[in-house]
Structure 1
Amino acid sequence: MITYVDTSSLDGNRRLVDSMFRDRAAQFRGRLGWPVQVDADGREIDQYDPLDPVYVIWVNEDGLHGGSMRIMPTTGRTMAAEHFATICGGPVRDARIWESTRFAIAPGAPRGVASALMMAGQVFGIRRGMTGCLGVYDMPMERVYRRLGCAPAPLGRTGDGRGAIGAGMWSVSMTNVEALSRRSGIPADAVIGWHDACYDDVPAVVRAA
């Protein structure tokens, strides 16, 4: 299942979130070799984690992290604006566009977790009237996004070979949710239900979108 964790629910989900940070360390430093900082408890936590992001997390049956992504509004500090503005065509500052970073899948995660996370991010945006989601990614991920049925519109890229990095903008729509649902076999209604179980204060006009 999917859950959403932010500052207000962080303390009640500490075990889950700590397992997410450890899986992030395993993916970004261990498997990909990124020069990220890992603390003494084996957790990868960067300068954006204290800025009240929303974590979209797949929760395994044992209550631990199976996959996640971090989303935050572009009206505040973002990784794209501070480190990748050139390939994004300049800093993006728009209340209707959020940034997605730290997309991570745990070792041994169930099939369909990546699709479920992307669907959950889309539902989060639809419920709030968002129009786009900005992301920076390793170029090989473009093929993964196309295979999942929800590829971004490319904004720019830098680097060559395995070190190439791209930036892209995802539209936010039920069309994307339905495409991801068809490819993954995960019912859209299930993902919408997981979202609405976490939030009861989304405006009614947006909830009906």
Structure 2
Amino acid sequence: MLRILTRDMLDTDRRAFDDMFRARAAVFRDRLGWQVDVRDQCERDRYDETEDPVYLVTQQPSGTLTGSLRLLPTTGATMLKSEFRDFFDQPIDVDSPTCWECTRFCVHPLAIDAAQNSSRTVATELLSGLCDLALDTGIESIAGVYDAAMIGVYRRIGWRPTPLARSRPEIGNLYVGLWDVTADHSRTLQANLSRLLDKVPSTPAATVIGEGHGGMR
């Protein structure tokens, strides 16, 4: 099940927010080794605390979250304009009311099992929900920074970004790209998700997306 969370829901949906922030700490700090701010086993940054992000999450019937991502309008403060700005030699000019930034794309490791909740299934559900949400709200493209290792994953899921720039070698093998939001992409993602839900994965969940369970930064 997909849900949308906003900051004004923090008090009424505390469990969902805590699940999301704890999973982000487990993935981004503990598994991937990113330099992120973790307090009380929860990863939060200034965009969570001072901006008005929209979160998209996948949730089991029990209430446990299996995945999450964060959206910010590119007309305001974004990681592309700040933290990621110096990753790339060429300037990245992404500032439009119809383009939103996706960061903190996270498949929650503790929620993954060997049945329906494989990491690929969760990632596909998140991207399918993101595409549909964007279509419904007039968003025409999604901007994000991603590792080169994710290129094949996005291709298999059915929604590949158009790369805008590659990071400097000392930063790593990262790209910034745009995901075009179209009805065709929505139909492809929904069809691929249906196929995944109709079968039991034959490979361990952790090997489908990668060791870290992280997507867009």
Match of 1:44 in 2: 43
CA pair 186-43 structure 1, distance change in 2 beyond 3 A:
farther
In the superposition, the TM-score normalised over structure 2's length comes to 0.80
Contact 1:116 1:186 in 2 (8 A): no
- 1:165 shift after superposition: 1.4
SS of residue matched to 1:126:
helix
- 1:164 shift after superposition: 1.6
SS of residue matched to 2:46:
coil
> Can you give the 5+ residue segments of structure 2 that lack an aligned partner in the other structure?
197-217
Within 1, Cα distance between the matches of 2:7 and 2:37? 22
Contact 2:80 2:92 in 1 (8 A): no
Within 2, Cα distance between the matches of 1:132 and 1:85? 19
Code of the residue aligned with 2:134 in structure 1: it is: G
Aligned residues: 186
Within 2, Cα distance between the matches of 1:156 and 1:76? 21
Within 2, Cα distance between the matches of 1:28 and 1:167? 18
Q: Which runs of 4+ in 1 moved over 3 A?
A: 85-89, 159-162
Within 2, Cα distance between the matches of 1:160 and 1:90? 17
Code of the residue aligned with 1:37 in structure 2: it is: D
**RMSD, aligned CA:** 1.9
SS of residue matched to 1:104:
strand
Within 1, Cα distance between the matches of 2:99 and 2:17? 25
Contact 1:85 1:91 in 2 (8 A): no
* Cα shift readout 1:16-62 (whole Å, capped 9, x = no counterpart): 111110000000011111111110x2000011112110000011232
Match of 1:75 in 2: 75
Code of the residue aligned with 2:189 in structure 1: it is: L
Match of 1:64 in 2: 64
Within 2, Cα distance between the matches of 1:130 and 1:27? 28
> Can you give the 5+ residue segments of structure 1 that lack an aligned partner in the other structure?
188-209
The correspondence for 1:93, drawn from 70, 78, 95, is: 95
Within 2, Cα distance between the matches of 1:143 and 1:156? 17
Q: What aligned pairs does 1:1-209 form with structure 2 within 5 A after superposition?
A: 1-39=1-39, 41-50=40-49, 51-85=51-85, 87=88, 89-107=91-109, 108-109=111-112, 110-111=117-118, 112-160=121-169, 163-185=172-194
SS of residue matched to 2:35:
coil
SS of residue matched to 2:33:
coil
* Cα shift readout 1:89-140 (whole Å, capped 9, x = no counterpart): 4231100000000000011421311111111111111111111100011221
Contact 1:17 1:65 in 2 (8 A): no
- 1:161 shift after superposition: 9.0
Code of the residue aligned with 1:158 in structure 2: it is: S
- 1:153 shift after superposition: 0.2
* Cα shift readout 1:134-177 (whole Å, capped 9, x = no counterpart): 00112211221111110100011114499321100000112111
Contact 2:60 2:66 in 1 (8 A): yes
Contact 1:126 1:172 in 2 (8 A): yes
Q: Relative contact order: is structure 1 or structure 2 higher (C-alpha 8 Å, sep ≥ 6)? A: 2
